[in-house]
Amino acid sequence: MDPNTLLFGLLGVAIGILAVWILTVRYRSNARLEAANIVELARKEASVDRKQQIAEAALEIKQERQDLAQDIQRLRSELTERERDLAVKETAANETAHDLEGRLEQLTARDEDLGNREKSIEETSAEYRAKLEEVAQLNPEAIRKRLEEEVHQECEDELRAMRQRLLSKSDQEVKREAQRIILTTMQRIASTPDSSNAASTVVLPNDEMKGRIIGKEGRNIKAFEALTGVTLMIDEVPGSVLISCFDPVRREAARVALEILVKDGRIHPASIEESIQNGQKEIDNLVFQYGEQAVQKLNLTGIPNEVLSLLGKLKYRYSFNQNTLDHSIECAYICSMLASELGLDPSLAKRAGLLHDIGKAVEHEYEGSHAMMAAKILRNYGENEAVANAVEAHHKEVDPTSLYAPLLMIADTVSATRPGARVESLDAYAKRLVRLETIAKDIGGVSEVFAIQAGREIRVMVEPEKVQEKDARVIALKIRNRIEEELQYPSTIKVTVIREQRFTETAT
């Protein structure tokens, strides 16, 4: 081979190797640079990822802390609630323990009482056994005599108490009872004889008219009084005439008739009779209108005209200055409301309340109390039997056959005894209740006193250790006597003394 060719070949190889080496070095340098860039990029990315992860971790930790705080708060609330419940339960447990201790003491006391009673029974049994053994050796005559002695001994205390009660009735008490009976009878015939409602006044134009009313030898005034049933008082008040009569309807008719005579000026027996007839017609019309207005106000139907006239007459009647017609309307409203609450017929209850006092409007044609008269009148006109029975039973004169009678009793009591209804202020009403309780508490052995039913009843609890059964009745009598002597009150007051039995007295 040619040396030059070989040299050129070697040179070429060397150049090739050199080129390869240069390329390799350059490639390696580029590779290192690229690797450095990649590493730097990776470091940057790793740093960004680390910060993001740290932020996410911080956010997650914050969220977990918030959740943990909420859980802690919830647990604290639950713990507080449980502590409160435990405190309530502990209080209830303490109260229960206290009640149990009290009951235990009561049971212990009862056990001791039962032991004492058992001992007493054993002693009594032994006593009776001894008596039986003794009786077994007696003849019939001796047995009868021994029984008489036992009965006499048992009744001696009761007879002594009865003797004391009979002797304690004074003349004043007898007079008071007589007055009550007389006043009740007068109320049936007319109205309560109260001076403010027993006279009417007619104004005269001049004093000359008094002479005309009297007439020659008094014939005009005698004719007027005979026809009307009233009394004319001419000289009582200057310039006027007083008409006095306990029957308010008759008195009102006389007032209207006298006003007609005074207005006409011609006064003689014929004109007097005519004016009285006209006055009576006017009053009859007014009475019917009052009854009709009361029925319309209560939205009732089917009441006969005769009953309406009786109802209207109550407009002129008073009980302790309480207008009887207004009282009847008020009772009707109360009965209706009570019946509605109890699921009864409010219309029937309303009729009973409105018509319960119409017996006060009749005079002599019926016999009996005003409640019995009213029931008889209602039955004569075909009124519902439940209404009639409620009316006749509202003063407990007969037994009620339905719930309407108790409703009417309640309504009548509420309307009559409420403060201010019958000339009694709220202050006087409250003072009377306090006075009732004070009178009862002043009696020895009384522990508690309760005034109920608007002051119509007081219930007295006595101490059984200090008051025996026979003494309880005496306490009831003492309270009744003191109430009658020291208090002024409408109707009656029931006194009930309670020990192991009840002893009742009624103050009238």
Q: Find out whether 323 and 345 touch, Cβ atoms under 8 Å.
A: no
Element (H, E) at 461: strand 457-462
Q: Which two tokens stand for residue 159?
A: 């007879």
* Euclidean distance between CA atoms 275 and 261, whole angstroms: 6
Supply the angle between the helices 324-342 and 346-355 in degrees, to the nearest 10: 160
Averages of pLDDT over each 10 residues, the chain, 508 residues: 70 78 80 81 78 82 86 87 86 83 82 79 72 62 70 67 62 58 41 47 76 79 81 74 78 83 78 81 86 89 88 80 83 86 87 88 70 88 90 86 87 71 60 83 85 80 81 84 77 79 65
Q: Which two tokens stand for residue 223?
A: 């004719």
- pLDDT at residue 191, rounded to an integer: 34
Q: What sign for the dihedral angle of Cα 82, 84, 89, 94? A: positive
* Euclidean distance between CA atoms 57 and 363, whole angstroms: 107
- pLDDT at residue 362, rounded to an integer: 80
Span 129-171, pLDDT tens digits? 676 666 556 566 776 777 677 767 666 766 666 666 665 655 5
Q: Find out whether 314 and 357 touch, Cβ atoms under 8 Å.
A: yes
- pLDDT at residue 189, rounded to an integer: 34
- pLDDT at residue 325, rounded to an integer: 87
Span 13-28, pLDDT tens digits? 778 787 778 888 777 7
- pLDDT at residue 23, rounded to an integer: 80
- pLDDT at residue 140, rounded to an integer: 66
* Euclidean distance between CA atoms 32 and 431, whole angstroms: 118
- pLDDT at residue 198, rounded to an integer: 54
For residue 327, the number of C-alpha atoms closer than 13 Å in the C-beta half-sphere is 26
Neighbours of 13 (CB within 10 A): 10
pTM, full prediction:
0.46
Closest CA to 288 of 323, 255, 327, 314: 314
